[in-house]
């Protein structure tokens, strides 16, 4: 299987290195700038959790900043941050053949998520695909939905530090089971991932979003690790209220939540003090993935005429914070 990784950072680099380590596929990378140079010089580099300072290395099958040099792939793994996806979609065509599948290993609600969902409308989700160009370049029928349960970091370009977790949930974006998903699941399982195949990956995506919806932006606003967020009773109650609103939205779009906010808080508490991905982005001066995690829930709720005052307040505050600090592109108010 020919696999190309777009976005060889923490998650993309981890996936690429794991696949290359077991020879499960011909693993190439589409990369830029320092990451491109690092992959050309060192290949894949991975420091596994619990492995001390040892770094595993392997050559990249091909690496380029031009998709045309890599050619048609069997699978394209997109592991960029949400704000970068439109540019990826605009240049991805040379990697796509008639049977190429696309697997977005990304946070938040994807562009295809509400296609065909009653009550939401057929217009693209403006928060994640403002002009519909992502959906045009990457139609839902090509997509294998993915939920990533992995904590990793990239302390320097081309080097991945795996912290914990190796879970992947995979499923057809259009729903149901397929031989294509099974084939991809088999390759990822050989590479050491804990793979779950899902017949309704939308529900899995929404469930992860429901857990991240508050922790990410609240940590970005406050600079607090998750343990401190949940230790403050007022903040904890606010997070719970927003999660109850998101659960109501989910129930209306076929993604019911079967857990209470307090149950989820208990699980998060057991993970100890950790920095969310959005807080890490703030500290590194990178754009925050606000639209795909919070803005999209605000948008869907509006299309359903559901009141979500806590989510709206959270989105407004985090959006303003991002604009003031140059971490969120200005959009029309709404």
Catalytic residue numbers read: 208
Bridge-partner residues for 168, per DSSP? Answer: 148, 195
Three-class SS of 102-145:
EEECCCCCCCCCCCCCCCCCCCCCCCCCCCCHHHHHCCHHHEEE
- For 5, the 3-state DSSP assignment is strand
The DSSP symbol for 294 reads I
Chain centre to alpha carbon of residue 142: 17
What phi and psi values does residue 239 have, to the nearest 5 degrees? -60, -40
Place of tokens 């209220």: 241
CA distances from 88 to 5, 104, 121 (A): 12, 11, 26
Task: Measure the CA–CA gap between 107 and 209, rounded to whole angstroms.
Answer: 8
> Quick one: 104 exposed, middle or buried, by C-beta within 10 A (0-12, 13-18, 19+)?
buried
C-beta of residue 77 within 8 angstroms of C-beta of residue 49: no
DSSP string, 16-72: HHHHHHTT-SEEEEE--HHHHHHHHHH-EEEE-TTSTT--EEE--S-EES-HHHH--
C-beta of residue 217 within 8 angstroms of C-beta of residue 294: yes
Place of tokens 């606010």: 238
């Amino acid at each position: 299987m020919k696999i190309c990784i777009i976005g060889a950072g923490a998650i993309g680099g981890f996936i690429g290195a794991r696949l290359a380590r077991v020879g499960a596929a011909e693993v190439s990378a589409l990369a830029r700038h320092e990451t491109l140079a690092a992959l050309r010089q060192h290949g894949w580099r991975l420091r596994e959790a619990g492995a001390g300072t040892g770094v595993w290395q392997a050559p990249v099958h091909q690496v380029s900043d031009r998709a045309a040099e890599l050619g048609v792939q069997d699978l394209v793994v997109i592991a960029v941050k949400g704000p970068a996806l439109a540019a990826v979609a605009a240049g991805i065509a040379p990697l796509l053949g008639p049977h190429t599948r696309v697997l977005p290993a990304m946070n938040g609600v994807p562009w295809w998520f509400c296609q065909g969902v009653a009550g939401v409308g057929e217009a693209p989700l403006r928060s994640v695909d403002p002009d519909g160009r992502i959906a045009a370049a990457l139609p839902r029928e090509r997509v294998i939905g993915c939920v990533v349960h992995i904590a990793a970091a990239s302390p320097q370009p081309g080097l991945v530090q795996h912290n914990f977790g190796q879970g992947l949930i995979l499923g057809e974006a259009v729903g149901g089971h397929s031989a294509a998903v099974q084939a991809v699941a088999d390759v990822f399982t050989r590479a050491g991932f804990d793979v779950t195949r899902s017949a309704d990956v939308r529900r899995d995506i929404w469930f992860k979003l429901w857990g991240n919806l508050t922790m990410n932006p609240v940590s970005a606003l406050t600079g607090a690790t998750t343990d401190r967020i949940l230790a403050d009773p007022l903040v904890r109650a606010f997070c719970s209220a927003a999660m109850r609103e998101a659960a109501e939205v989910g129930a209306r779009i076929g993604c019911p939540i079967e857990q209470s906010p307090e149950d989820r808080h208990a699980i998060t508490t057991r993970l100890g003090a950790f920095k969310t991905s959005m807080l890490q982005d703030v500290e590194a001066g990178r754009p925050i993935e606000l639209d795909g995690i919070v803005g999209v829930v605000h948008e869907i709720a509006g299309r359903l005429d559901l009141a979500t005052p806590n989510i709206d307040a959270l989105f407004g505050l985090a959006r303003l914070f991002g604009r003031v600090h140059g971490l969120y592109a200005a959009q029309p108010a709404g």
